[in-house]
Amino acid sequence: MGAGKAGECRIENEALRTVVRRIFAAAGSSERECGLVAEHLVEANLRGHDSHGVGMLPAYIANALTGECRLNAAPTVVTDLGALMVVEADRGLGQTIAHDAVAMAVAKAKTQGACIMALRNSHHIGRIGHWSEQCVRAGLVSIHFVNVISTPAVAPFGGRGARVGTNPISIGLPRPGRDPFVVDFATSRLAVGKVRVAYNKGVDLPEGVLLDGAGEPTTDPAALFEEPLGALRTFGEHKGWALSFACDLLAGALAGGATQKGPKNRDAIINNMFSIVVSPEAMGTSAAYAREIEAYAEWVTAPPAGREPSVLLPGEPERATRADRLANKVPVDTNTWEQILAAGESVGVARAETGRIAGLA
Protein backbone atom coordinates (compact mmCIF):
# COMPACT_ATOMS: atom_id res chain seq x y z
CA MET A 1 0.00 0.00 0.00
CA GLY A 2 1.89 2.98 -1.38
CA ALA A 3 1.52 5.78 1.15
CA GLY A 4 1.31 3.67 4.29
CA LYS A 5 -1.41 3.50 6.91
CA ALA A 6 -2.24 7.01 8.11
CA GLY A 7 -4.02 8.53 11.09
CA GLU A 8 -6.03 11.72 10.96
CA CYS A 9 -6.33 15.11 12.53
CA ARG A 10 -9.57 17.03 12.95
CA ILE A 11 -9.72 20.73 12.14
CA GLU A 12 -12.55 23.18 12.71
CA ASN A 13 -13.93 24.32 9.36
CA GLU A 14 -13.27 28.05 9.83
CA ALA A 15 -9.68 27.31 10.83
CA LEU A 16 -9.30 25.15 7.73
CA ARG A 17 -10.63 27.97 5.56
CA THR A 18 -8.06 30.29 7.15
CA VAL A 19 -5.29 27.82 6.32
CA VAL A 20 -6.36 27.78 2.66
CA ARG A 21 -6.64 31.56 2.50
CA ARG A 22 -3.23 32.03 4.11
CA ILE A 23 -1.43 29.68 1.73
CA PHE A 24 -3.09 31.10 -1.39
CA ALA A 25 -2.41 34.66 -0.23
CA ALA A 26 1.26 33.75 0.14
CA ALA A 27 1.18 32.30 -3.38
CA GLY A 28 -0.14 35.63 -4.69
CA SER A 29 -3.93 35.25 -4.87
CA SER A 30 -6.10 38.30 -4.24
CA GLU A 31 -8.26 38.45 -1.13
CA ARG A 32 -11.33 37.64 -3.24
CA GLU A 33 -9.69 34.64 -4.86
CA CYS A 34 -8.46 33.36 -1.49
CA GLY A 35 -12.04 33.49 -0.25
CA LEU A 36 -13.46 31.69 -3.29
CA VAL A 37 -10.95 28.84 -3.20
CA ALA A 38 -11.24 28.41 0.57
CA GLU A 39 -15.04 28.32 0.34
CA HIS A 40 -14.95 25.75 -2.46
CA LEU A 41 -12.36 23.38 -1.01
CA VAL A 42 -13.60 23.36 2.58
CA GLU A 43 -17.23 23.02 1.52
CA ALA A 44 -16.22 19.91 -0.42
CA ASN A 45 -14.72 18.48 2.78
CA LEU A 46 -17.77 19.44 4.81
CA ARG A 47 -20.03 17.59 2.38
CA GLY A 48 -17.91 14.45 2.58
CA HIS A 49 -16.13 14.85 -0.76
CA ASP A 50 -12.58 14.90 0.60
CA SER A 51 -11.46 14.00 -2.93
CA HIS A 52 -12.20 17.59 -3.99
CA GLY A 53 -11.39 19.33 -0.72
CA VAL A 54 -8.21 20.69 0.82
CA GLY A 55 -6.29 17.68 -0.46
CA MET A 56 -6.29 19.42 -3.87
CA LEU A 57 -4.41 22.43 -2.46
CA PRO A 58 -0.90 20.96 -2.95
CA ALA A 59 -1.51 20.31 -6.67
CA TYR A 60 -2.99 23.78 -7.19
CA ILE A 61 -0.08 25.49 -5.46
CA ALA A 62 2.51 23.40 -7.30
CA ASN A 63 0.93 24.30 -10.64
CA ALA A 64 0.63 27.97 -9.68
CA LEU A 65 4.35 28.09 -8.90
CA THR A 66 5.24 26.70 -12.34
CA GLY A 67 2.72 28.86 -14.21
CA GLU A 68 0.55 25.88 -15.16
CA CYS A 69 -2.28 27.45 -13.13
CA ARG A 70 -2.76 31.22 -13.38
CA LEU A 71 -3.79 33.00 -10.20
CA ASN A 72 -6.07 36.08 -10.27
CA ALA A 73 -7.15 35.38 -13.85
CA ALA A 74 -10.53 36.45 -15.22
CA PRO A 75 -12.62 34.59 -17.79
CA THR A 76 -12.80 36.08 -21.28
CA VAL A 77 -16.07 35.91 -23.22
CA VAL A 78 -15.16 34.94 -26.80
CA THR A 79 -18.73 34.35 -28.06
CA ASP A 80 -21.81 36.16 -26.75
CA LEU A 81 -25.10 35.59 -28.55
CA GLY A 82 -27.28 36.44 -25.59
CA ALA A 83 -28.38 33.05 -24.39
CA LEU A 84 -25.30 31.34 -25.81
CA MET A 85 -21.80 32.02 -24.49
CA VAL A 86 -18.31 30.61 -24.96
CA VAL A 87 -15.85 31.57 -22.22
CA GLU A 88 -12.05 31.18 -22.35
CA ALA A 89 -10.21 30.52 -19.06
CA ASP A 90 -6.59 30.22 -20.29
CA ARG A 91 -5.62 27.99 -17.30
CA GLY A 92 -6.95 30.39 -14.67
CA LEU A 93 -7.58 28.99 -11.18
CA GLY A 94 -10.81 27.08 -11.59
CA GLN A 95 -12.46 28.14 -8.35
CA THR A 96 -12.36 31.77 -9.53
CA ILE A 97 -12.87 31.19 -13.25
CA ALA A 98 -15.82 28.80 -12.95
CA HIS A 99 -17.50 30.95 -10.28
CA ASP A 100 -17.38 34.00 -12.54
CA ALA A 101 -18.40 32.10 -15.70
CA VAL A 102 -21.37 30.49 -13.93
CA ALA A 103 -22.33 33.88 -12.48
CA MET A 104 -22.52 35.26 -16.03
CA ALA A 105 -24.67 32.30 -17.12
CA VAL A 106 -26.97 32.81 -14.13
CA ALA A 107 -27.39 36.51 -14.95
CA LYS A 108 -28.29 35.71 -18.56
CA ALA A 109 -30.73 32.95 -17.57
CA LYS A 110 -32.40 35.37 -15.16
CA THR A 111 -32.96 37.97 -17.90
CA GLN A 112 -33.40 35.74 -20.96
CA GLY A 113 -34.87 32.56 -19.50
CA ALA A 114 -31.98 30.25 -20.32
CA CYS A 115 -28.28 30.23 -21.09
CA ILE A 116 -25.96 27.72 -22.69
CA MET A 117 -22.43 28.39 -21.48
CA ALA A 118 -19.27 26.63 -22.61
CA LEU A 119 -16.19 27.16 -20.44
CA ARG A 120 -12.91 26.00 -21.90
CA ASN A 121 -9.30 25.58 -20.78
CA SER A 122 -9.82 26.18 -17.07
CA HIS A 123 -7.52 24.80 -14.44
CA HIS A 124 -9.31 22.21 -12.29
CA ILE A 125 -12.77 23.53 -11.34
CA GLY A 126 -13.21 21.17 -8.39
CA ARG A 127 -16.49 19.68 -7.17
CA ILE A 128 -18.97 20.20 -9.99
CA GLY A 129 -21.94 20.13 -7.62
CA HIS A 130 -20.64 23.46 -6.30
CA TRP A 131 -21.63 25.09 -9.61
CA SER A 132 -25.08 23.46 -9.57
CA GLU A 133 -25.50 24.89 -6.07
CA GLN A 134 -24.56 28.34 -7.35
CA CYS A 135 -27.38 28.06 -9.88
CA VAL A 136 -30.02 26.65 -7.51
CA ARG A 137 -29.40 29.53 -5.10
CA ALA A 138 -30.67 31.75 -7.91
CA GLY A 139 -33.73 29.52 -8.39
CA LEU A 140 -32.38 28.02 -11.63
CA VAL A 141 -32.19 24.47 -12.94
CA SER A 142 -28.78 23.56 -14.37
CA ILE A 143 -26.95 20.70 -16.08
CA HIS A 144 -23.14 20.57 -16.30
CA PHE A 145 -21.01 18.21 -18.39
CA VAL A 146 -17.26 18.30 -17.67
CA ASN A 147 -14.21 16.63 -19.16
CA VAL A 148 -10.76 16.24 -17.61
CA ILE A 149 -7.45 16.60 -19.44
CA SER A 150 -4.59 15.29 -17.33
CA THR A 151 -3.04 11.87 -16.79
CA PRO A 152 -5.58 9.45 -18.32
CA ALA A 153 -7.18 7.63 -15.41
CA VAL A 154 -10.21 5.70 -16.68
CA ALA A 155 -10.46 2.70 -18.99
CA PRO A 156 -13.29 2.69 -21.56
CA PHE A 157 -15.79 -0.13 -21.08
CA GLY A 158 -14.19 -3.22 -22.59
CA GLY A 159 -10.70 -1.73 -22.35
CA ARG A 160 -7.91 -2.55 -19.90
CA GLY A 161 -5.86 0.65 -19.96
CA ALA A 162 -6.50 4.29 -19.04
CA ARG A 163 -7.60 6.48 -21.93
CA VAL A 164 -9.87 9.23 -20.52
CA GLY A 165 -10.57 11.30 -17.43
CA THR A 166 -13.27 10.92 -14.79
CA ASN A 167 -15.57 13.27 -16.74
CA PRO A 168 -18.21 14.28 -14.16
CA ILE A 169 -21.83 15.37 -14.56
CA SER A 170 -23.92 17.52 -12.21
CA ILE A 171 -27.58 18.53 -12.23
CA GLY A 172 -29.09 21.09 -9.87
CA LEU A 173 -32.83 21.25 -9.13
CA PRO A 174 -34.06 24.02 -6.80
CA ARG A 175 -36.95 23.39 -4.40
CA PRO A 176 -38.79 26.55 -3.37
CA GLY A 177 -38.45 26.97 0.37
CA ARG A 178 -36.59 23.69 0.84
CA ASP A 179 -33.13 22.18 0.31
CA PRO A 180 -32.37 21.58 -3.38
CA PHE A 181 -31.69 18.32 -5.16
CA VAL A 182 -28.10 18.18 -6.45
CA VAL A 183 -26.89 15.28 -8.57
CA ASP A 184 -23.09 15.13 -8.84
CA PHE A 185 -21.03 12.13 -9.94
CA ALA A 186 -17.97 11.08 -11.90
CA THR A 187 -18.59 8.75 -14.82
CA SER A 188 -15.87 6.51 -13.36
CA ARG A 189 -16.69 4.27 -10.40
CA LEU A 190 -14.73 6.64 -8.17
CA ALA A 191 -13.18 10.05 -8.68
CA VAL A 192 -9.37 10.11 -8.87
CA GLY A 193 -9.37 12.21 -5.72
CA LYS A 194 -11.22 9.50 -3.80
CA VAL A 195 -8.53 7.02 -4.84
CA ARG A 196 -5.91 9.56 -3.73
CA VAL A 197 -7.59 9.80 -0.32
CA ALA A 198 -7.53 6.00 0.02
CA TYR A 199 -3.87 5.97 -1.08
CA ASN A 200 -2.96 8.63 1.50
CA LYS A 201 -4.89 6.80 4.22
CA GLY A 202 -3.31 3.47 3.28
CA VAL A 203 -6.62 1.64 2.82
CA ASP A 204 -7.94 -0.66 0.10
CA LEU A 205 -10.65 0.22 -2.40
CA PRO A 206 -13.80 -1.86 -2.95
CA GLU A 207 -13.58 -4.63 -5.52
CA GLY A 208 -14.56 -3.80 -9.08
CA VAL A 209 -13.30 -0.21 -9.04
CA LEU A 210 -9.72 -0.40 -10.32
CA LEU A 211 -7.45 -2.24 -12.74
CA ASP A 212 -3.72 -2.60 -12.21
CA GLY A 213 -0.99 -1.82 -14.74
CA ALA A 214 -1.54 -5.18 -16.42
CA GLY A 215 -5.27 -4.56 -16.76
CA GLU A 216 -6.21 -6.96 -13.99
CA PRO A 217 -8.63 -6.17 -11.13
CA THR A 218 -7.02 -4.79 -7.95
CA THR A 219 -8.11 -3.12 -4.72
CA ASP A 220 -4.77 -1.32 -4.16
CA PRO A 221 -5.09 2.46 -4.79
CA ALA A 222 -1.34 2.58 -5.52
CA ALA A 223 -2.24 1.28 -8.97
CA LEU A 224 -3.34 4.79 -9.92
CA PHE A 225 -0.23 6.56 -8.62
CA GLU A 226 2.72 4.18 -8.92
CA GLU A 227 4.23 2.70 -12.08
CA PRO A 228 3.02 0.77 -13.95
CA LEU A 229 -0.14 2.85 -13.80
CA GLY A 230 -3.52 1.17 -13.82
CA ALA A 231 -6.99 2.58 -14.49
CA LEU A 232 -10.37 3.21 -12.94
CA ARG A 233 -13.39 1.52 -14.45
CA THR A 234 -16.53 3.34 -15.59
CA PHE A 235 -19.64 3.08 -13.47
CA GLY A 236 -22.58 1.18 -14.93
CA GLU A 237 -20.37 -0.60 -17.45
CA HIS A 238 -21.27 0.56 -21.01
CA LYS A 239 -23.73 3.20 -19.73
CA GLY A 240 -21.13 5.08 -17.71
CA TRP A 241 -18.70 4.81 -20.61
CA ALA A 242 -21.27 6.33 -22.98
CA LEU A 243 -21.82 9.27 -20.60
CA SER A 244 -18.06 9.75 -20.23
CA PHE A 245 -17.70 9.74 -24.01
CA ALA A 246 -20.42 12.39 -24.33
CA CYS A 247 -18.76 14.56 -21.66
CA ASP A 248 -15.49 14.68 -23.56
CA LEU A 249 -17.23 15.69 -26.78
CA LEU A 250 -19.71 18.18 -25.28
CA ALA A 251 -17.37 19.85 -22.81
CA GLY A 252 -14.17 19.50 -24.81
CA ALA A 253 -14.89 19.43 -28.55
CA LEU A 254 -18.09 21.51 -28.69
CA ALA A 255 -16.66 24.15 -26.33
CA GLY A 256 -13.65 24.61 -28.59
CA GLY A 257 -11.30 23.27 -25.95
CA ALA A 258 -9.76 19.81 -26.19
CA THR A 259 -10.46 16.17 -25.51
CA GLN A 260 -8.20 13.66 -23.80
CA LYS A 261 -6.36 12.03 -26.68
CA GLY A 262 -2.96 11.01 -25.41
CA PRO A 263 -0.72 10.84 -22.35
CA LYS A 264 -0.42 13.85 -20.07
CA ASN A 265 1.92 16.43 -21.64
CA ARG A 266 1.85 19.15 -18.95
CA ASP A 267 1.20 19.41 -15.22
CA ALA A 268 -1.97 21.49 -15.50
CA ILE A 269 -5.26 19.75 -14.68
CA ILE A 270 -7.55 21.13 -17.38
CA ASN A 271 -11.34 21.12 -17.27
CA ASN A 272 -13.83 22.15 -19.91
CA MET A 273 -17.52 22.50 -18.98
CA PHE A 274 -20.71 22.62 -21.03
CA SER A 275 -23.55 24.07 -18.95
CA ILE A 276 -27.28 24.57 -19.54
CA VAL A 277 -29.00 26.95 -17.11
CA VAL A 278 -32.80 27.37 -17.20
CA SER A 279 -35.36 29.50 -15.36
CA PRO A 280 -38.62 27.67 -14.49
CA GLU A 281 -40.17 31.10 -13.91
CA ALA A 282 -39.33 32.24 -17.43
CA MET A 283 -40.74 28.99 -18.82
CA GLY A 284 -44.03 29.74 -17.06
CA THR A 285 -43.88 26.36 -15.32
CA SER A 286 -42.65 27.34 -11.87
CA ALA A 287 -45.93 26.53 -10.09
CA ALA A 288 -46.23 23.11 -11.73
CA TYR A 289 -42.53 22.48 -11.19
CA ALA A 290 -42.76 23.25 -7.46
CA ARG A 291 -45.87 21.10 -7.08
CA GLU A 292 -44.59 18.13 -9.04
CA ILE A 293 -41.11 18.05 -7.53
CA GLU A 294 -42.60 17.71 -4.04
CA ALA A 295 -45.19 15.13 -5.08
CA TYR A 296 -42.50 13.09 -6.80
CA ALA A 297 -40.13 13.26 -3.82
CA GLU A 298 -42.93 12.15 -1.49
CA TRP A 299 -43.85 9.23 -3.75
CA VAL A 300 -40.36 7.82 -4.31
CA THR A 301 -39.37 8.02 -0.63
CA ALA A 302 -42.60 6.58 0.80
CA PRO A 303 -41.79 3.18 2.39
CA PRO A 304 -44.04 0.12 2.06
CA ALA A 305 -46.52 -0.28 4.89
CA GLY A 306 -44.81 -1.26 8.12
CA ARG A 307 -41.30 -0.39 6.89
CA GLU A 308 -38.98 2.40 7.99
CA PRO A 309 -38.04 5.06 5.41
CA SER A 310 -34.82 4.07 3.63
CA VAL A 311 -34.66 6.07 0.39
CA LEU A 312 -32.32 9.07 0.29
CA LEU A 313 -32.73 11.88 -2.22
CA PRO A 314 -29.82 13.54 -4.05
CA GLY A 315 -28.02 15.96 -1.72
CA GLU A 316 -29.28 14.42 1.54
CA PRO A 317 -26.12 12.41 2.34
CA GLU A 318 -23.99 15.53 1.83
CA ARG A 319 -26.19 17.61 4.13
CA ALA A 320 -26.00 14.95 6.86
CA THR A 321 -22.21 14.79 6.56
CA ARG A 322 -21.97 18.57 6.62
CA ALA A 323 -23.94 18.77 9.86
CA ASP A 324 -21.70 16.13 11.44
CA ARG A 325 -18.48 17.82 10.37
CA LEU A 326 -19.62 21.25 11.47
CA ALA A 327 -20.23 19.73 14.89
CA ASN A 328 -17.22 17.41 15.08
CA LYS A 329 -14.63 19.14 12.85
CA VAL A 330 -13.27 18.11 9.46
CA PRO A 331 -11.10 14.97 9.31
CA VAL A 332 -7.84 15.29 7.35
CA ASP A 333 -5.58 12.26 7.08
CA THR A 334 -2.01 12.84 8.23
CA ASN A 335 -0.42 12.18 4.82
CA THR A 336 -2.68 14.81 3.22
CA TRP A 337 -1.93 17.22 6.08
CA GLU A 338 1.81 16.70 5.51
CA GLN A 339 1.34 17.56 1.83
CA ILE A 340 -0.55 20.75 2.80
CA LEU A 341 2.24 21.74 5.20
CA ALA A 342 4.80 21.22 2.43
CA ALA A 343 2.71 23.27 -0.01
CA GLY A 344 2.59 26.09 2.53
CA GLU A 345 6.36 25.95 2.96
CA SER A 346 6.79 26.19 -0.82
CA VAL A 347 5.23 29.67 -0.75
CA GLY A 348 6.86 30.81 2.49
CA VAL A 349 4.29 29.78 5.11
CA ALA A 350 6.12 27.99 7.90
CA ARG A 351 4.78 24.68 9.15
CA ALA A 352 4.45 26.10 12.63
CA GLU A 353 2.25 28.92 11.38
CA THR A 354 0.00 26.55 9.41
CA GLY A 355 -0.30 24.28 12.43
CA ARG A 356 -1.12 27.20 14.68
CA ILE A 357 -3.83 28.48 12.32
CA ALA A 358 -5.31 24.99 12.16
CA GLY A 359 -5.34 24.71 15.94
CA LEU A 360 -2.92 21.78 15.85
CA ALA A 361 0.20 23.51 17.22
Domain at 75-188+234-327: CATH code? 3.30.1370.60
Confidence (pLDDT) at 361: 77
Residue 3 confidence (pLDDT): 46
CB contact at 8 A, 281 and 139:
yes
Residues in the chain with pLDDT values less than 50 = 1-3
- Contact indicator for 247, 240 with CB cutoff of 8 Å: no
Q: Give the pLDDT confidence of 257-279 residue by residue, as tens digits.
A: 999 999 988 899 999 999 999 99
CA 106, CA 58: separation in Å to the nearest integer? 31
3-class DSSP assignment, residue 332:
strand
Virtual torsion, Cα 249, 252, 257, 263, nearest 10 deg: -100
Question: What is the crossing angle of helices 334-346 and 351-358, to 10°?
Answer: 130
Tens of pLDDT, residues 212-252: 999 999 999 999 999 999 999 999 999 999 999 999 999 99
HEC-encoded secondary structure of 64-119 = HHHCCCECCCCCEEEEECCCEEEEECCCECHHHHHHHHHHHHHHHHHHHCEEEEEE
| pLDDT value of position 5 | 60
> Which has the closest alpha carbon to 151: 161, 138, 141?
161
Is residue 42 a contact partner of residue 13, using CB atoms and an 8 Å limit?
yes
Q: What is the architecture, at CATH level 2, of domain 1-66+329-361?
A: Orthogonal Bundle (1.10)
Name residues whose C-beta falls within 8 Å of residue 179's C-beta, 6 or more positions apart in sequence: 315, 316, 319
| For the chain, domain boundaries | 1-66+329-361, 75-188+234-327
Look at residue 141 in the predicted model and tell me its pLDDT.
98
Do residues 169 and 243 make contact, with C-beta atoms less than 8 angstroms apart?
A: yes
pTM comes to 0.95
Q: What is the pLDDT of residue 226?
A: 96
Hey, which bits of 212-284 come out as E strands? 217-218, 231-233, 270-278
Strand ranges of the sheet holding 217-218, from the earlier edge strand across to the other edge: 154-155, 231-233, 210-211, 217-218
pLDDT at 2: 43
Of 298, 296, 68, 314, which is closest to residue 169 (Cα–Cα)?
314
The sign of the CA dihedral 330, 331, 333, 338 is positive
